[in-house]
Structure 1
Amino acid sequence: MSTGTPRISFMIGGAQKCGTTALTEFLRLHPRVRLPSNKEAHIFDAPDFDDAAVAANIDARFAPWFEQPWQDSLLYGDATPISLFLEPAIRRAARYNPALRWIILLRDPAERAISHHAMERARGNESLTLLLALLAEPWRLRRARGDLGWNSSLRNHSYRARGEYAVQLRRLLRYFPHEQVLLLRSIDLAQDAAATLRKVYAHLRLEGPLRLPEVQRHFEGAYSRHVLGHAVLHWWSWRQRRELRRALGIDLRS
């Protein structure tokens, strides 16, 4: 068990490409909230994380991402979306702060995967077309099993795997009670950011003011169309949405 009072009290833990950047920017506008200067601190998923570290050690790793000194009147959080996907990150977070509150955004798994693939292509991490990347994914992930390195396929090529939300949420709920996990739909954040943000405030026990940026650009995206790859993804996505609805009662369709 960690010693000391953990400074990080909430996590925007995923899923990647589901609106976490927009939510982070909305929350930054609250005077009591502090989030890492570069959004994602990548502490719990770091390849060199020390599993023997106590809360004070972990807070020391978080410290460079925040203005110092720590202030007891402020609410500190992290926004590292891969945290939901990696069980070691969840386990480490639970050991660090069992009272940690989670905010999870979920998007249609097919659209999430398409956006992820486009991002990796733009970054130079992916040379395969969407269809070939989907076919290669099982082999890539088997080869990368247990590898948390920054260039691991777990990070770069997990297009379908990160959309298996029911599996990931069941795992998260083994470490954290349901009342500490807020599940949101990306479509609701895009269509009514104010109402969604009020839910986040309530979850974090924050009072107003409710402030939103005048321009919201984070939900835009145009991707090349790979017809066969998209067809495969949308068939697979239907099965994932059905499992999520049956397991947790969440319907990702508007």
Structure 2
Amino acid sequence: MNKSVNFFGLGAQKSGTTTLHDILKQHPDVVLPKYKESHYFNDEETYKKGLDYYFSFYFPPIPDHKVVGEIDPEYLACETCPERIKEAFGEELKFIIILRNPIDRAYSSYLMAKSRGYEKLSFEKALESELERVNTSFGKAHLSYVGRSLYSPQIQSYFNTFPSENFYIIKFENFTQNLKESINHISNFLGLQPFDFEFQKASNVAHEPKNKIIRDFIYKPLWFKKIGHLLIPSQALRGKLMHNLNQANLKPISNKEELPSEMRKMIYTKYFKDEINKLELLIHKDLSNWKY
């Protein structure tokens, strides 16, 4: 079994990585994990299990001469991931990064946390309270709206570890509005043969639960879940069952509230103005449509 990885999709979170995964997995020369997002390199307990576990648990058998990758948006904001990935697979990896307007990314992340029952505050109050709340591992994982949207230090960490020419960086709006062209460019970047991909509607769009009791069963650490661990010892099977239950319990958001223009300007000025200017210089892309 081949035990090497050729590329990683690093994120950002809520920026089209599920769509990218669902399209690239169609290519006959691409091998991706059986389930998107292993979190292997950012989860301490999983990382301790080693690369043999990583390949045997998350990947199907990998024939030679395949392009092997993983798309996990947790890796972009992970401070330890660049060095861990380099130690595992060397410097000659390729990386794909999709960057969304940080205000939109933060708000989309907020809506996801709210739909899962993690968030009770208004968006404005949640941003104001973020620094206090991300001191816990739970808060850092689920309530980091501004922090995960500060892309320049995250990307700089990878640039410090890998050659900058190994990165394909695209804006979310360009990716979604020109999906076929974007996928063709990414395929060329990865060295893939031309392939007639199927382009369907975007994956992982904003949603809300049909039933909040089922939602809480899935996302909250309830004591009786331990019984399920005894009845179903297979982590993979438990994960698949929970995923299927979650998908069945979702519906599109009926009334998605858009951010008022004045609030967007306030958030831009308070949290992201300097960051966007730094990011422009770092990645050499025009981000003027993100500015006010």
TM-score normalised over the length of structure 2: 0.75
1:66 and 2:59 are equivalent in the alignment: yes
Residue by residue over 1:158-195, the C-alpha shift from the partner in whole angstroms, topping out at 9 and shown as x without a partner, is 10111111111111101111121111111111111121
Partners in 2 of 1:19 and 1:50 — Cα distance? Answer: 25
- Residue of structure 1 in register with 2:248 after alignment: none
Q: Return the match for 2:168 from 182, 186, 208.
A: 182
- After TM superposition, list the pairs within 5 Å mapping 1:1-254 onto structure 2: 6-50=3-47, 57-68=50-61, 70-98=62-90, 99-141=92-134, 143-144=135-136, 147=137, 152-213=138-199, 215-218=200-203, 221=206, 223-225=256-258, 227=260, 230-235=264-269, 236-253=271-288
SS of 1:81's equivalent in the other structure is coil
Q: How far 1:200 sits from its partner (Å)?
A: 1.0
Partners in 2 of 1:137 and 1:73 — Cα distance? Answer: 45
Partners in 1 of 2:259 and 2:201 — Cα distance? Answer: 27
Pairs aligned (count): 238
List structure 1 segments (4+ residues) > 6 angstroms apart after TM superposition. none
Q: How far 1:231 sits from its partner (Å)?
A: 4.3
Q: How far 1:6 sits from its partner (Å)?
A: 4.2
- Residue of structure 1 in register with 2:236 after alignment: none
Change (3 A) 1:251 1:59: farther
Query: Where does structure 2 lack aligned partners over 5 or more consecutive residues?
Result: 207-252
Which structure has the higher relative contact order (CA within 8 Å, separation 6+)? 1
Bigger Rg over Cα: 2
Partners in 1 of 2:203 and 2:272 — Cα distance? Answer: 22
Q: How far 1:101 sits from its partner (Å)?
A: 1.4
% of aligned pairs identical?
25
Q: How far 1:96 sits from its partner (Å)?
A: 0.6
SS of 2:131's equivalent in the other structure is helix
Partners in 1 of 2:47 and 2:98 — Cα distance? Answer: 28
SS of 2:80's equivalent in the other structure is helix
Change (3 A) 1:80 1:165: same
Contact kept? 1:6, 1:97, Cα under 8 Å: no
Query: Where does structure 1 lack aligned partners over 5 or more consecutive residues?
Result: none
Change (3 A) 1:101 1:175: same
Q: How far 1:118 sits from its partner (Å)?
A: 0.2
Partners in 2 of 1:175 and 1:12 — Cα distance? Answer: 16
Contact kept? 2:39, 2:72, Cα under 8 Å: yes
**Equivalent AA in structure 2 for residue 202 of structure 1:** N
Q: How far 1:230 sits from its partner (Å)?
A: 3.9
Residue by residue over 1:189-247, the C-alpha shift from the partner in whole angstroms, topping out at 9 and shown as x without a partner, is 1111121112211221111114132x223385563245475443233333322221123
Contact kept? 2:26, 2:197, Cα under 8 Å: yes
Contact kept? 1:18, 1:107, Cα under 8 Å: yes
Partners in 1 of 2:70 and 2:52 — Cα distance? Answer: 12
Residue by residue over 1:98-121, the C-alpha shift from the partner in whole angstroms, topping out at 9 and shown as x without a partner, is 222111000100000000000011
- Residue of structure 1 in register with 2:237 after alignment: none
Residue by residue over 1:106-161, the C-alpha shift from the partner in whole angstroms, topping out at 9 and shown as x without a partner, is 010000000000001111121211111101111122x23xx4xxxx2221011011
Question: Over aligned residue pairs, what C-alpha RMSD do you find?
Answer: 2.3
Q: How far 1:64 sits from its partner (Å)?
A: 2.2
Change (3 A) 1:191 1:129: same
Contact kept? 1:241, 1:252, Cα under 8 Å: yes
**Equivalent AA in structure 1 for residue 111 of structure 2:** A
